[in-house]
Structure 1
């Protein structure tokens, strides 16, 4: 992990560890997936390709249990985006977005959760954009409008299905901090595990957060667990006292 800045002098702040992970529909080594996530002890996991069809509630709950977390929101209403937290995080409310369906394509969406750790409040969002380059910019524009309506510190984890030069990526990154860039690690690829060549998985934060650490978790376990590497970010959120 990259240690961007010392934080010992900031007691009035909350540390938050966030993992964003496309789990490939749990079609790979699920034991390796569980071990990989548990080993990094995240506070929040933003999942793409989570259960979204038959018995999705039970399957999302089972995934959370394997990862030693609880379901915060998402699943079918967000079309496969799932937000998980540990018990340190209080979930205050959740909501979801579904993007308009293009005939012949998979529906896409986003999940949102307003959360708190003590007096620190923030919003976590997760999304997975289309593989179709003609669809992604429109989806990004809709998602950006939802993000703009959030007036709390914001975290967005997403599989954008394009690199940072793409139109959808630029739309979502506007006004937010790309955690990889902040940590000088934008050269780390997230896809594919078999042949790492692209950074299509991103984690963005609003200006209230400070990026302390950033990593693309490349281990024997993560190479067996999915076709994407997970993105792991340590954040610091100053606490505003009333």
Structure 2
């Protein structure tokens, strides 16, 4: 099977309200190349907090934090980051601000790729418009895209369909769409997903359910092994 391997984790870390030592152990044990974080640091001293979180994972900050309203992209030293950007969705009165983070990356031997992360509203009236705005940025990418998201709805929802359109749902590709991601206390929904460009091969997919993941957050992490297209 040709291609360049990449291991990606998409993870809502619940604003680090839970067992942070367990959280660090979960990510370090996964040995990811990229971590797409939802509910990362976004307030006072956010740069320092993002750097400390990345260090606890054995990674570095690529993009996000406050400018992306808590969406954060972290990478290993194997990944080279070429460009970054952040997005904020329009504020609906009385609701939390939401946004997204993007990073154009490469690893040795691969074509460039874009990592994108977002966390959509809990309000079903807000999600579809946010998904459209996010999808516009995804479609503007010049390279194959990897999208990690907490969608706050399951497959079949309007926002889910918007973001998934034309992309590969890695859980479905691995025949593991029955694996639930929320909540750790009572797993009942698959609201966290990783979607990839069809040019990217899905090798393996897991929702990591261990004693540590149940202590680390209210969401389980999504762990996916991919093969990126080789550089021309």
TM superposition score normalised by structure 1:
0.95
In 2, the alpha carbon distance for the partners of 1:227 and 1:147 equals 27
Residues 35-54 of structure 1 aligned to structure 2 (within 5 Å): 35-54=25-44
SS in 2 for 1:146: helix
Q: Which moved more, 1:119-128 or 1:180-189?
A: 119-128
Match of 1:162 in 2: 153
In 1, the alpha carbon distance for the partners of 2:126 and 2:229 equals 37
In 2, the alpha carbon distance for the partners of 1:118 and 1:67 equals 22
Match of 2:79 in 1: 89
How many residue pairs end up in the alignment? Answer: 231
Q: Which runs of 5+ in 1 are unaligned?
A: 1-6
SS in 1 for 2:54: helix
Match of 1:207 in 2: 198
Q: Which runs of 5+ in 2 are unaligned?
A: none
SS in 2 for 1:169: helix
Residues 1-242 of structure 1 aligned to structure 2 (within 5 Å): 7=1, 10=2, 13-120=3-110, 121-241=112-232
Shift of 1:240: 3.0
Shift of 1:238: 2.2
In 1, the alpha carbon distance for the partners of 2:168 and 2:18 equals 32
SS in 2 for 1:235: strand
8 Å contact from structure 2 (residues 4, 109) kept in 1: no
TM superposition score normalised by structure 2:
0.99
SS in 1 for 2:73: strand
